[in-house]
């Protein structure tokens, strides 16, 4: 660290991490400017959020639940302080650092509140990886803070920054909390634009905030999956299908030979695997073929083998094989069986009834139930995850062409991620919302599953091109999804949903707040107001001609009142003001308690809950009243 005074900005956890990096024996990530970047996330100022009714869509119910926030995502997440620790799933699709999709402002190294757009980071920029990591590191830190203890981050990337992203996530979330590294088939027709190996896949890195309590949901089963089950032996347990007897993790205890009662052949776990069930259970299941098994050391360097009693290492008695063939022909086969003719390797049964509630997600999505053909495979087949071209076609069908997006994540990919890692009533955040695929996926899954997931989308657009596609693309796509008014008429259908659209405006600090006009202060109050219960439960009442003080109501039908008409007007709660608030509440058919924001409180009564300007607003934005001066001039 070049300036020792910068240590003051670091949290205890960050100081401990710095010491660990200097003294520890483990692998640590290092890049120029990292010491400064560690505290950037803590220095981001929240912003006032201005509601844009023109771009908001749907019934009030959906507007209360869902949000599109226009602005920088680091500032946006800082402004959503009351959502910190409440997010079930973050789906993130950051810039891939392709040489044309990313800008960086060097001032952000020390001042993340600088409004400069920065310069494009080209493919030949020698510091392109460092700039990308400095851009991503504080965002990953804030994303982690926004997750519930059970929350999960699923972040998309390609080969350019895969390793750097993985290193940062390992460092921030902890390697033990890495749930999966998944590659999905983005195209079935890769271009020959490389002299070596062309890339047909991209990646999704999945990290839990706490792997030990994170929950992975089962996927809805498809009818085609159920058709793969049969009952050739009339098993009273119902339809079943073949499953692997071996497990991926090695265990010395469960690495041993099993002798076939049909052929006498010895079967061992393939590769570096071991049998998946306890030996005593395997022994009991084998005995159901009509003969006794014993443990015997056969000198193969493994644990004692399960051998047919009375047999040799090469053969079994004739009576043993005859009993096994009779069972195969006339009876229900045991849980461990050896193929339709008894000549195969040992395998197990998986019963449809036990998996009917849903299929267990794997990192291979070509088959809902089967394990990958190759151990360690992490491919999601395009049939299951969709392709980039599918995502683009979906966007064209909804919004029409000419939107400027060349790559779009397929709806199917995001739906599966949400289905696996977000509960049916969970909250999904996408800080790189782009064309709005994540919100579309949430609403379509809610319809298909009768679920109640909600979403927060953050999108800045391209301010350097004066292109606010948060309005023209993100919000427009979702509006068309809700109304069913697709560009391609024959494909559109209404999907229940909606959202409130807000834009980030002024930075929040005491100096700025005290200079605000009334409309700006209303935005600040509505954005920050919290009573320790449901977040975003405040409904703005936009009726200036009727109400002088009433600006919003909470979920208990209590009014929120603002005594503020600019910095030079009366800003105090007096008895006269209180009486007017009571009249306005009665007119709006709201119930008493009166939540009143003002500069000073000159009238105390039991049915008023008073909030001081600016202190309470700053506090509800998560700013530290004791240690922060809240002055824009310091930044």
Task: Please enumerate in sequence order all residues whose Cβ is within 8 A of that of 370, keeping only pairs 6 or more positions apart, or say none.
Answer: none
pLDDT value for 135: 96
Strands 591-598 and 558-562: parallel
Give the side-chain half-sphere CA count within 13 A for 175. 5
Dihedrals phi, psi of 300, to nearest 5 degrees: -100, 10
Helix/strand/coil for 260: coil
For 393-422, the DSSP string reads HHHHHHH-S-S-------HHHHHHHHHHHS
Q: Is the Cβ–Cβ distance between 70 and 459 less than 8 Å? A: yes
Distance, in Å, from the CA atom of 110 to the CA atom of 349, rounded to the nearest integer, reads 60
Q: pLDDT digit string (tens) for 505-549?
A: 999 989 899 999 999 999 999 988 876 545 567 889 988 889 999
- Kindly list the strands in the beta sheet with 550-553, ordered across the sheet, starting from the edge strand earlier in the chain: 539-540, 550-553, 558-562, 591-598, 608-612
Determine if the pTM surpasses 0.75: no
pLDDT value for 39: 86
Q: How many residues does the chain have?
A: 635
The full set of domain ranges for the chain reads 50-219+381-507, 223-354, 511-621
The two tokens of residue 138 are 């504080």
The partner residues of 91 in beta bridges, in order of sequence, read: 154
pLDDT value for 19: 67
Task: Please enumerate in sequence order all residues whose Cβ is within 8 A of that of 455, keeping only pairs 6 or more positions apart, or say none.
Answer: 66, 67, 427, 428, 429, 430, 438, 439, 442, 499
Q: Label residue 559 left, alpha or beta by phi (over 0 means left) and psi (-120 to 50 means alpha).
A: beta
The two tokens of residue 251 are 């265990």
Q: Is the Cβ–Cβ distance between 179 and 216 less than 8 Å? A: yes
Q: Is the Cβ–Cβ distance between 543 and 53 less than 8 Å? A: no
Task: Please enumerate in sequence order all residues whose Cβ is within 8 A of that of 272, keeping only pairs 6 or more positions apart, or say none.
Answer: 250
pLDDT value for 278: 92
Q: pLDDT digit string (tens) for 405-440?
A: 878 899 999 999 999 999 999 999 999 999 999 999
In terms of C-beta density within 10 A (0-12 exposed, 13-18 middle, 19 or more buried), how is residue 195 classed?
exposed
Q: pLDDT digit string (tens) for 592-631?
A: 999 999 999 999 999 999 999 999 999 988 886 655 533 3
Three-state SS annotation for 165-204: HHHHHHHHHCHHHEEEEEEEECCCCCCCCCCCCCCCEEEE
Strands 67-70 and 119-120: unpaired
Instruction: Tell the residue number behind the tokens 């530290």, with chain if given.
Output: 624
CATH superfamily of 50-219+381-507: Vaccinia Virus protein VP39 (3.40.50.150)
Helix/strand/coil for 466: coil
Give the side-chain half-sphere CA count within 13 A for 344. 13
Q: Is the Cβ–Cβ distance between 311 and 293 less than 8 Å? A: no
Angle at CA of residue 320, ends 318 and 326, nearest 5° = 100
CA dist list (Å): 356 to 215, 216, 226, 251: 19, 17, 8, 30
Give the side-chain half-sphere CA count within 13 A for 371. 11
Dihedrals phi, psi of 119, to nearest 5 degrees: -105, 150
pLDDT value for 634: 38
Q: Consecutive sets of 10 residues in the chain, 635 residues long: mean pLDDT of each? A: 58 64 68 89 90 93 94 94 94 94 90 88 94 96 96 95 96 94 77 61 93 81 73 92 86 95 96 91 96 96 96 94 95 95 94 66 45 38 69 86 81 92 96 95 94 96 74 94 88 91 92 92 90 67 92 94 91 96 97 96 96 93 61 36
**Among candidates 481, 478, 497, 516, which has minimal Cα distance to 597?**
516
pLDDT value for 18: 64
Residue 22: CB atoms within 10 A of its CB come to 8
Distance, in Å, from the CA atom of 597 to the CA atom of 620, rounded to the nearest integer, reads 13
DSSP character at residue 155: E
Helices (H), 97-239: 128-146, 162-173, 223-226
Task: Please enumerate in sequence order all residues whose Cβ is within 8 A of that of 283, keeping only pairs 6 or more positions apart, or say none.
Answer: 293, 295, 306
- Cα Rg, the chain, nearest whole Å: 31
pLDDT value for 76: 95
Q: Is the Cβ–Cβ distance between 388 and 437 less than 8 Å? A: no
Q: pLDDT digit string (tens) for 292-322?
A: 999 999 999 999 999 999 999 999 999 999 9
Helix/strand/coil for 53: helix
């Amino acid at each position: 660290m070049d300036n020792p005074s910068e240590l003051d900005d670091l949290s205890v956890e960050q100081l401990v991490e710095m010491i660990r990096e200097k003294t520890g024996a483990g692998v640590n990530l290092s890049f120029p400017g990292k010491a400064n970047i560690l505290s950037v996330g803590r220095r981001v100022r929240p912003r006032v959020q201005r509601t844009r009714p023109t771009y908001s869509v749907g019934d009030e119910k959906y507007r209360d639940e869902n949000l599109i926030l226009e602005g920088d995502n680091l500032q946006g997440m800082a402004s959503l302080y009351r959502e910190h620790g409440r997010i079930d799933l973050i789906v993130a699709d950051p810039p891939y650092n392709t040489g044309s999709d990313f800008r960086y402002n060097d001032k952000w190294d020390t001042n993340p509140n600088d409004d400069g757009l920065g310069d494009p980071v080209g493919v030949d920029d020698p510091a392109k990886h460092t700039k990308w990591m400095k851009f991503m590191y504080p965002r990953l830190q804030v994303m982690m803070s926004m997750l519930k203890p059970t929350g999960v981050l699923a972040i998309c990337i390609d080969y350019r920054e895969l390793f750097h992203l993985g290193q940062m996530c390992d460092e921030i979330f902890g390697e033990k909390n890495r749930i999966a590294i998944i590659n999905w088939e983005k195209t079935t027709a890769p271009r020959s634009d490389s002299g070596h190996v062309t890339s047909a896949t991209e990646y999704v890195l999945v990290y839990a905030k706490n792997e030990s309590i994170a929950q992975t949901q089962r996927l809805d089963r498809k009818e085609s999956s159920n058709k793969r089950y049969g009952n050739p032996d009339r098993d009273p347990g119902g339809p079943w299908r073949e499953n692997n007897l071996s497990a991926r993790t090695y265990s010395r205890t469960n690495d041993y030979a099993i002798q076939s009662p049909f052929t006498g052949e010895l079967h061992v776990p393939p590769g570096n695997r071991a049998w998946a069930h306890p030996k005593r259970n395997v022994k009991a299941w084998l005995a159901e073929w009509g003969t006794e098994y014993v443990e015997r050391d056969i000198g193969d360097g493994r644990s004692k083998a399960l051998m047919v009693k009375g047999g040799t290492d090469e053969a079994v008695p004739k009576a043993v094989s005859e009993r096994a063939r009779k069972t195969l022909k006339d009876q229900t086969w045991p849980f461990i069986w050896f193929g339709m003719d008894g000549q195969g390797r040992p395998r197990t049964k998986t019963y449809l009834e036990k998996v009917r509630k849903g299929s267990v997600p794997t990192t291979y999505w070509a088959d809902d139930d089967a394990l990958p053909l190759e151990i360690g495979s992490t491919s999601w087949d395009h049939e299951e995850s969709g392709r980039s071209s599918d995502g683009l076609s979906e966007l064209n069908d909804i919004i029409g062409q000419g939107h400027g997006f060349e790559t779009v994540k397929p709806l199917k990919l995001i739906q599966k991620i949400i289905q696996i890692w977000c509960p049916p009533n969970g909250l999904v955040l996408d800080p790189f919302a782009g064309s709005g695929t994540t919100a579309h996926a949430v609403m379509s899954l809610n319809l298909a599953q009768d679920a109640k997931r909600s979403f927060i989308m953050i999108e800045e657009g391209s301010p350097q091109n004066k292109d606010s596609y948060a309005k023209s693309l993100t919000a427009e796509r979702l509006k068309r999804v809700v109304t069913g008014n697709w560009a391609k008429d024959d494909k559109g259908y209404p999907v229940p949903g909606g959202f409130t659209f807000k834009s980030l405006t002024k930075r929040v600090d005491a100096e700025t707040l005290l200079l605000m006009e009334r409309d700006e202060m209303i935005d600040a109050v509505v954005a920050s107001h919290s009573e320790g219960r449901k977040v975003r439960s405040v409904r703005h009442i936009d009726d200036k001609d009727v109400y002088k003080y009433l600006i919003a109501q909470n979920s208990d039908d209590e009014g929120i009142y603002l005594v503020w008409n600019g910095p030079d007007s009366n800003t105090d709660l007096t008895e006269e003001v209180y009486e007017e608030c009571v009249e306005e509440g009665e007119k709006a058919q709201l119930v008493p308690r009166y939540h009143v924001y003002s500069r000073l409180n000159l009238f105390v009564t039991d049915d008023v809950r008073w909030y001081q300007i600016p202190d309470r607003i700053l506090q509800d934005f998560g700013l530290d009243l004791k240690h922060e001066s809240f002055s824009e001039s310091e930044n």
